[in-house]
Amino acid sequence: MTIIRLPNILSAVSEIQSRVHDAEKEVTQASEEWFSSYNLIPPAKWDDFVKERFGLCAAMSWPQGGKDSLRTGSDWLILLFKYDDLLDEASSNLMRDERGATKASKIFISAIADTENFQPVPYLPIATACHDFMTRFRAMSPPNVAKRFVDSITSYAIAASKQTGFRERNLRPSVEEYVALRRETGAVMTCMPFIENSLGIDLPDSVLQHPIIEKLHTAANDIVCWGNDITSFNREQAAGDHFNLVAVVALEKGLPVQVALEYVYLMFQSAVSRFENAKFQIPTLDPENHEIVSKYVEGLGFLCSGLTRWYFETDRYFGPNLREVKETMKLHLLPLEKCASRPFQTLTYTVIEY
């Protein structure tokens, strides 16, 4: 059986501040009860859903604010990951159906962007859940924050549909193409408005569009996405999905997977360094804005470090082997799922001794 070793991304983010919101357990229970009311998870799979620990993910990502903002963040992460699963799981009809994914994305966007005119879709109850969530999100968000959230979701949904097109046509993106698309499909930008809500702030567009803030956004985005690609690689290759930075690097550069993992880890470390360096270049603003920008940047740190640490606190990526993987950073390569389509290109797994 093939064994691969994961780079220790936890050590790479050890210098970025992290903590867990005190209301994690209370919010987790409320979010899970809310989501269960839509009957989107079969009873036989409910325990597996609970073990994914999305409430903890929210509490690690946004530890700064009150319970209400944390609750909306927790609800959003559930919706985001479950929608993403509709497009990524081998058992899903949408994994390689760009037309179907595009239709789903239009409904998804409509439920978020046009809450007043939304009409429930019988075969897509997740859209109704999105509409309920968004109604509450708008009620607590300044108009600018709500608009940024909607814009980021639109970009994510369009990019996610494009990703299914690559799969449907058996196309392998270049590393450059993949990086550009992954910064949208990762949906990290949809998480940033929750930082503002948790802090009770509404940053001017001029601040968010400042080159240094944009550098911080890109670096934080890359930390989350490259870390996710490292930890989710095994799960995704088992689903016959090579739309992952590790696989893309391996195929483009002719590398065995173990070497590609180390290559991606260098990209991850570079993103951490870019984030840390940009923190010391925060623009000098008037005193009021400078204070809230500093808090926002702190929130970005919580977001990218919290998500990175959560990858090793959830069963989503390593299942019952979570504790062992966290301790050893080694895992057994999963076999191709029975319902998965065999990828059109083959990865190699030369094992490297440590």
* 4 three-class SS: strand
User: Residue 135's pLDDT is what?
Assistant: 96
pLDDT at 98 over 50: yes
User: Residue 351's pLDDT is what?
Assistant: 56
Least reliable range by pLDDT among 134-143, 150-159, 330-339: 330-339
User: Residue 286's pLDDT is what?
Assistant: 64
Cβ-contact 295, 17 below 8 angstroms: no
Residue 92 has, within 13 A of its CA and on its CB side, a CA count of 22
User: Residue 354's pLDDT is what?
Assistant: 43
Widest distance between CA atoms in the chain: 60
If 0-12 CB within 10 Å is exposed, 13-18 middle and 19+ buried, where does residue 203 land? buried
* 226 three-class SS: helix
pLDDT per position as a tens digit, 39-86: 999 999 999 999 999 999 999 999 999 999 999 999 999 999 999 998
Q: Considering the entire predicted model, what is its pTM?
A: 0.95
Here the tokens at position 235 are 């799960």
Cα–Cα distance, 222 to 321 (Å, whole number): 26
Here the tokens at position 145 are 């924050």
What band does 282 get if pLDDT is binned at 50, 70 and 90?
confident
Q: What is the DSSP letter of 2?
A: -
